[in-house]
Structure 1
Amino acid sequence: MYTTDVGTTWAGTHTFGARRLYLPGSLSEAAEIVGSLDRVRAVGTRHSFNDIADGETMISLVQLEPDVQLDEQARTVSVCSGTRYGVLASWLHDRGWALRNMGSLPHISIGGATATGTHGSGDTNGILSTAVAGVQLINAEGEVLDFDRSHPEFAGIVPSLGALGIITRLTVDIEPTYEVRQDVFRDLPWEAVIGELDTVMAAGYSVSIFTVWDEPTASRVLVKSRLDVDAEVPTELFGAPAMHHGDPELAALGANRTVQGGIPGPWLERLPHFRVDANPSNGDEIQSEYFVDRRHGAAAMDALRGLASEIAPHLIASEIRSTAADNLWLSMAYERPSLAIHFTWLNRPDALTNLLPRIEKVLAPFDARPHWGKTFVAQADLMKTLYPRLPDFQALRNRMDPTGKFSNDYLRRVIGS
């Protein structure tokens, strides 16, 4: 089955140029389709903000059944790559299990999040791909292959930008279910954000700082605490008071948010920022994000504040999060604990044409790595300096896809031919 009505990304920021989108009903059909094509790219729930999924032809596995397979002894779960995190999370919670971390949107597919290095937050939490214990994919010949952590190049196969094949299933680490509360602190002075960054980011299991950059305070700090891990929850944060459940300012943020204000609840209803049964984020938006070495996080934010007057007029909100270091070749947190500086922009692409190069120039001294699935201007020459294992990834890609079946303009632009 296929359609020629290929459409756009979820926020409408990119219109796909593919002539055809295949929607297979089974793994065997997907393998047959991939084997028969000269060029093909995978697309998931369309939550990227660039042309990473685009190509002459696309294939999507979002219509396949999740086919969840639980291995309690190994503490893993296997699931179809097109399954949304929210669907898997609900299935696991019903059986007493949980994921260690989730992104802000439970609406995204597990395969798409893995391929692009998508993440949540937390000093001790890696990007979502670090939980992946096994990958199944369809290679350029249409063969279904399985890889696990014993494979010597597994770290290059997990976040792979769709360049190695069509990911069909993922095996993910799990743990027993737990509860989380979200506490919101209002108006944290910038002096504390910059001067006490490590303490602020360590205030909970997962911490997010929200700002628009041109104000004397960060408007909100969202601290997510695990009830089975965190000994106590702060009542204030460097003078920033806690906002309580029922506060009109919290309600004004929107009914699509998960419950805040210190009310405990299941992990799957607190770790994401947005409810799975509601429209996520703003909707009509563009997103960018940059990862800097945690050691340089305060300096990078201080440098960005020098552009505050240019950033603020085009911004909906900016979110600052942390991630643990990992060994995944194309991870934005490869070999360095990182501070992730995120921008949710008004849908004004012409303004970003001039603004993003300015931001990337300011962040260049900190070796900022752009999020693969969001909007940025950096190209392959720079990426080669930011990712030490990029030559190894290119060699792996050339072996697994010698004819460039899974290549597209995006890959040629950001990692080279």
Structure 2
Amino acid sequence: MDKRKFLKTATTLAGAALAGPLLQCNPKKQEMQSTEALYNWAGNLQFSTTQLHQPKNLDEAVNLVKELPKLRVLGSRHSFNSIADSEQHLLSTTRLNRLIDLDKETRKVTVEAGMKYGDLCLLLEKEGFALHNLASLPHISIAGSISTGTHGSGMENGNLSSAVAAIEFINGNGELVKLSRENDPAFMGAVVGLGAIGMLTKVILDIEPSFDMAQVIYKDLPMQALKDHLTEIMGAGYSVSLFTDWTSENINQVWVKKRSNQNGEFDFPLELFGALPFEKAVHPVQSMSAESCTTQLGETKKWFEILPHFKMEFQPSAGKELQSEYFIPIEHAYEAISSIQEMAKEISPLLFISEIRSIKADELWLSPCYKRDAIAIHTTWKQEIPEVMEILPKMEARLAPFQARPHWAKLFTISPSELENRYPKLNDFRKLVQEHDPKGKFQNHFMEENISVNA
């Protein structure tokens, strides 16, 4: 897969990387198509068209889907590869961001697909409700996140897509389609849909009563401790993340997020298999300020103030980074981590930090956690594009014995034939795409190359 076709050198993006976010925030420009170059969140990818449409309601979205010959849908532009690219037209969900209904009895919330998780959290908390989990950043859109299998962490927590109870989308024929977990077998194929079956317009999510949380960060966990105690370490809290730069025999940081018990208390250990708590707040990249990070040091906060790593009120970096992520069956986690540790001298000069998280298995066809509990090895790279694209195949070769599945919206070079081997429901997904988009209105180079939608 030739990602270089779409990746632009970082030196050309100093001013342009902010074009996308500025466009979304300017009400005057929301009324017209863009004539400026469009970039993803990180600035490493320039979209192949400037034709950006931003419907403000469902009727406008349906009409645009019917009228436009080829298109892809954009959320918060947090993809690092060309999955959302189009050579003709782009539809943004930015203005489709309303809360439609909150059913307290059934514990379901219905939102428009463009709503961001951080905004939904505030609305839910006002009504005394919560989501089961959140990703590292609360700034990402709901539709884009569930469509690519994005996740948080926790041995008993499925990815964000696993909380979806029903979806509504406009298919390639311009028809409004509704699928639910309860009534439609095709639902399991449509949720992590990669934007290929149509434009998501509404999402119904499971919710639960609001809860309190606290977070403690431990330092210098011996890597060897993972060999015999990995499930205990990853299960030390409701959500646990390991951060490492691979330069030593220790995990740099262990972020342990706990829910309060029935007495409103937390039982953080004084020591975690040799790792001791930090006495001050820290950033995953320890040289950076922790100001943007969520509350640490065991202070009690609400769920949405702890589950992400970063606060909603702080705008995440405007770019200058790349990301890759691979999902490995949890029973092979230590072997996989050790195999990457052996590449430390090659990896460390190119990265900011790597994060290791656990995710519970699900039944969603193209979820990286389909039918297997997983450990995800995520890496935030410096924006040194040729060097990163050269090292990814080496990492993938080391992870191949464990049938590693890539995050769909991050950088990878795994061949289409290998993707076929690792996703047993891929052919069923193709049939679903052909049913809802027979003329290929929503297909692009990424889909044709990696999914073989026309096969």
Q: Among 171, 177, 189, which residue is 1:139 paired with?
A: 171
Give the aligned partner of residue 12 of structure 2.
Answer: none
Matched AA of 1:163: A
Q: What root-mean-square deviation, in Å, do the aligned CA atoms of Structure 1 and Structure 2 show? A: 1.7
Alpha carbons 1:42, 1:59 under 8 Å: kept: yes
| Deviation string, structure 1 residues 220-266 (Cα, Å, up to 9, x no partner) | 00000011478622221011111135689979542111111211101
Cα contact 2:327–2:406 (8 A) shared by 1 = yes
Query: Partner residue of 2:94?
Result: 62
**In the alignment, what sits opposite 1:22?**
53
The amino acid across from 2:376 in the alignment is: A
Q: Equivalent residue for 1:238?
A: 273
Query: What amino acid is aligned across from residue 237 of structure 1 in structure 2?
Result: L
Equivalence map 1:38-117=2 (5 Å): 38-55=69-86, 56-117=88-149
SS in 2 for 1:209: strand
Question: For the structure 1 residues 246 and 313, does the alpha-carbon distance in structure 2 shift closer, same or farther, using more than 3 Å as the test?
Answer: closer
Equivalent residue for 2:18? none
Q: Per-residue deviation at 1:283?
A: 3.7
Partner of 1:366: 402
Provide the C-alpha distance between the structure 2 equivalents of 1:366 and 1:300, rounded to a whole number of angstroms. 7
| 2:378 aligns with one of 315, 319, 342 | 342
Residue 7 (structure 2) aligns with: none
Identical amino acids, percent of aligned pairs: 42
AA matched with 1:136: E
Which of 238, 245, 251 pairs up with 1:205?
Answer: 238
Call closer, same or farther: CA 1:162–1:257 in 2, change over 3 Å: same
TM-score by length of 1: 0.97
Distance in 2 between residues matched to 1:307 and 1:49, nearest whole Å: 23
How far apart, in 1, do the equivalents of 2:261 and 2:287 lie?
27
- For 2:37 and 2:64, how far apart are their aligned partners in 1? 17
**2:301 matched residue in structure 1:** 265
Q: Deviations for 1:360-398, whole angstroms, at most 9, x for unmatched residues?
A: 001000000000010111132111000000010011111
SS of residue matched to 1:3: coil
Q: 1:73 deviation in Å?
A: 1.1
Query: Higher mean Cα deviation, 351-360 or 225-234?
Result: 225-234
The reply on whether 1:159 has 2:188 as its aligned counterpart is no
- Relative to 1, partners in 2 of residues 1:58 and 1:252: Cα closer, same or farther, differing over 3 Å? closer
CA contact 1:194–1:301 (8 Å) conserved in 2? no
Kindly state the Cα deviation for residue 315 of structure 1 after the two structures are TM-superposed.
0.7
Q: 2:324 matched to which residue of 1? A: 288
What's the CA shift for 1:213?
1.1
In the aligned structure 1, how far is the partner of 2:212 from the partner of 2:287? 22
AA partner of residue 247 (structure 2): D
User: 1:143 deviation in Å?
Assistant: 1.8
Q: Structure 2: how far apart are the matches of 1:414 and 1:325?
A: 23
Report the secondary structure of 1:260's partner residue.
coil
1:146, CA displacement in angstroms? Answer: 1.2
TM-score by length of 2: 0.89
User: Which shifted more, 370-379 or 115-124?
Assistant: 370-379
Quick one: which of 345, 353, 361 aligns to 2:389? 353
Structure 2 residues without counterparts, runs of 5 or longer: 1-31
- Would you say the 8 A contact 2:217–2:253 is kept in 1? yes
* Among 209, 213, 218, the residue aligned to 1:180: 213
Distance 1:125 1:267 in 2: 14
Match of 2:257 in 1: 224
Partner secondary structure for residue 290 of structure 1: strand
Alignment of 1:365-404 (within 5 A): 365-404=401-440
Measured in 2, the distance between the counterparts of 1:380 and 1:214 equals: 33
Cα separation, 2, equivalents of 1:281 and 1:187: 26
Residue 171 of structure 1, CA deviation: 0.3
